[in-house]
Amino acid sequence: MNALNRRRVLICRPEPEATRLAQQFREAGADARVFPLIDRQPLPETPERRTLILDIDQFSHIIAVSPYAARLLMEELDTWWPQIPSGIRWYAVGAGTARVFAEHGINTRKPALGWTSEALLALPSLASMENEKVLLVRGEDGRELIRQTLEKRGARVTALPLYRRRIPDYTADEANTVLGGFAPEAIVTLSGETLQNLIALCAKTGHNLYDRLLIVPADRVAEQARSAGFTNLCIPDSLADKDIVASVAAQLAANDKGAGEAK
C-alpha cells in the first residue's frame, strides 16, 4: 500500500518551492496543501549594493545561503556583467543553491554531506581564510554563523542582503481552515524561522499539532522542535524534493507499523 495515499501533508516553505514540492507529494498520492509561513520580498536597489555588484570581481569567495539568494544574485549579474567574472570560488549551502549557479555555468563548491552552514564551513577551502575577501549573499536577517566563523578564521566578510523575510498575514479563518479543518498529518518546515512561525501561529490560534509528523532540515532545528514540544520528527535524507517525499513516506509507514503493533 502507498504510504502517502490520501495522507494530508502541509507545506510551509516559501514560494515557489512550496508549490513545486506539493506537486511532488500529489504525484505520490498525498493530499498536499501549500501554506507558506515565510514570505520573501526582494530588497530595492541601493547605490551601495550596485557598487558591490560592480566590484564583485574583487572577491575571492562568494557564498549564497539559499536558492533564492543565488537566483537574485544571478539576476543582478545578468544586468551588470556581460560575463561571469573569473577567478572566484563559488559556494552553495545545499544542492538546490548549487543547482541555481550550475544553470548559469558556475562550478560550485558545496558540502558532500549535509546542507547546513555548519557543513559548508567544514569545507577545506574555507579552513584558512587570512585576508581573504568573502561576499556573503543572503537575506536581510538570518544566522550569523558563516560570517562570524569566517571572520574568526581571518576573512574579510561583506554581507550582501538581497531580500527580506516576513510572516504572511493570515486571517484567523485562513489559519483555522488549514490547521484545524485540513488537519495535517505531516508538516514540512525546512528552516528554524519557519518552525518558529508555526509555533507562534499555533499558540495564537489554539491549535495543538505537536504530535504530527514534523519535517525539519537538520539536527539544530530538530532540537528547537523538541524543546517546543514536538514529538514526531523527521530529517530527510536530503532537501531535494524527491528525497523529502520519500523520507515522509518512509516515516509515515514506520509510524503506521508502530501504531499497529501497539494495538
- Confirm if 239 and 96 have CB atoms less than 8 A apart: yes
Q: Nine-digit cell at 46?
A: 541601493
pLDDT of residue 137: 96
pLDDT of residue 261: 65
Give the residue from 97, 103, 122 showing the smallest Cα distance to 112: 122
Please state the rounded mean pLDDT for residues 222-230.
Answer: 94
- Confirm if 21 and 217 have CB atoms less than 8 A apart: no
Say how many C-beta atoms besides its own lie within 10 A of residue 195's C-beta.
23
pLDDT of residue 1: 47
Share of the chain above pLDDT 90, in %: 75
Give the residue from 9, 11, 4 showing the smallest Cα distance to 190: 11
Q: Can you tell me whether residue 222 is helix, strand or coil?
A: helix
Model confidence pLDDT, tens digit, residues 147-196: 999 999 999 999 999 999 999 989 989 999 999 999 999 999 999 999 99
Share of the chain above pLDDT 70, in %: 97
pTM: 0.84
Residue labelled with grid coordinates 575577501: 133
Model confidence pLDDT, tens digit, residues 18-35: 999 999 999 999 999 999
C-alpha count within 13 angstroms, C-beta hemisphere, residue 243: 11
Q: String of b and e for 121-154 (b: at least 16 CB within 10 Å)?
A: beeeebeebeebbbbbbbbeebeeebbebbeebe
The rounded mean pLDDT for the chain is: 91
Which domains occur in the chain, in start order?
8-38+169-262 (3.40.50.10090), 41-165 (3.40.50.10090)
